[in-house]
Structure 1
Amino acid sequence: MATDVVELILADHRKFEELFRALRDRNTDRSTVLGELAALLVAHAEAEESEVYPALKRYKEVDNEEVDHGAEEHAEGHQALLALMQVEDTSSDEWESKLEELVEALNHHVDEEERTILNDAREEVSDDRRDELGRLFVEIRQSRLDDDCGDIEYVRKIAAATKDRID
């Protein structure tokens, strides 16, 4: 299993894309897939913000403004995720619209994070430190998953707590 934090984050990003494809398919159990996405998305963001982002801000070659912006985009993602989770009819136009809002917000974040923060980390942070951060990332992400962080009440709580980060 990979332990490089950059590779682990990239793997989660690819999983998000896979889950989005499944959510766009009207023949899948959208509620189940949304639960899987919610859990992974929240756990991923919280692991990045608790360990990875603070560590990367200590490197002068890593753009601190981009790291802070990444946390803002997590907050936007939490808002969009909650909005989608609150729509009960997964076959409705409203659900489709909220899904596209979430996809757009997340794709924007993933693109920026990969081009800036992760590229900087890959170039400027030693292999050993990236492995250490990777182990911490996995540990925290799994802890959040074990705590059922994809539950709508948890998502409501973090959406409320992070609302002030959004510009």
Structure 2
Amino acid sequence: MEDLLRLMRSTEADRQTALHDFAHLMIAHGEAERASVHPVLVSFEDADTVEHIENAHLETVKVLYALLRVREIGSAEWDWRLQQLASATARHTDEEERTLVNKVRESLSRRCREELGAGYARTKADLLTARCGSVAHVHRMVRTAVPV
């Protein structure tokens, strides 16, 4: 995702394609994580922490949607929304990696982690194939405000 953010900042890159690739990747990651990983995390973390992580992801989805709606790539609004997306993504990723991912890594056997990862990867691949980051889908997610 960091590479795609870098491309979205570059005036020499296909920023529109990078944005849409980022959207698909971010939505697929969040939905696959919610479906495959979060049910297991509740065993290691309290439900409030998992809910906080899901709400943080939803907030990042809202920021993504705002960027998807910007009419002119490279405008001041584009740059501002892109910076918001980069910041929200970094905060969410850092928090998730420091808390939940490390707890699971320390608490589950290697075999369990591999099975969990395989389920996550399958779900994510299916979502990417379905182009889950379309503007219409992201809009529905924001409109219904269901944690992803």
Return the TM-score normalized by structure 2.
0.94
Paired residue secondary structure (1:49) = helix
Which consecutive segments of 4 or more residues in structure 1 shift more than 6 A? none
Paired residue secondary structure (1:18) = helix
Asked if structure 2 preserves the Cα contact closer than 8 Å seen for 1:77 and 1:102, the reply is: yes
1:161 to 124, 144, 147: 144
Question: Which whole-Å CA distance do the structure 1 matches of 2:125 and 2:96 have between them?
Answer: 21
Question: Which whole-Å CA distance do the structure 1 matches of 2:49 and 2:103 have between them?
Answer: 10
Asked if structure 2 preserves the Cα contact closer than 8 Å seen for 1:26 and 1:91, the reply is: yes
Question: Which whole-Å CA distance do the structure 2 matches of 1:126 and 1:63 have between them?
Answer: 20
Identical aligned residues as a percent = 35
Following TM superposition, by how much is the alpha carbon of 1:128 offset from its aligned partner in structure 2, in angstroms?
Answer: 1.1
Name the amino acid aligned to 2:115.
E
Paired residue secondary structure (2:145) = helix
Question: Which whole-Å CA distance do the structure 1 matches of 2:143 and 2:35 have between them?
Answer: 18
Question: Which whole-Å CA distance do the structure 2 matches of 1:162 and 1:139 have between them?
Answer: 25
Alignment of 1:75-86 (within 5 A): 75-86=58-69
Gaps of 5+ in 2: none
The CA RMSD measured in Å over matched residues stands at 1.3
Name the amino acid aligned to 1:23.
M
Following TM superposition, by how much is the alpha carbon of 1:127 offset from its aligned partner in structure 2, in angstroms?
Answer: 1.1
Name the amino acid aligned to 1:56.
L
Following TM superposition, by how much is the alpha carbon of 1:23 offset from its aligned partner in structure 2, in angstroms?
Answer: 1.1
Question: Which whole-Å CA distance do the structure 2 matches of 1:23 and 1:83 have between them?
Answer: 15
1:132 to 115, 122, 132: 115
Gaps of 5+ in 1: 1-15
1:51-97 Cα deviation digits (max 9, x unpaired): 101111123xx354332211011100110000000002111000110
1:73-122 Cα deviation digits (max 9, x unpaired): 11001100000000021110001101111111110000100110011011
1:103-151 Cα deviation digits (max 9, x unpaired): 1111000010011001101111111111111111011111111111111
Paired residue secondary structure (1:82) = helix
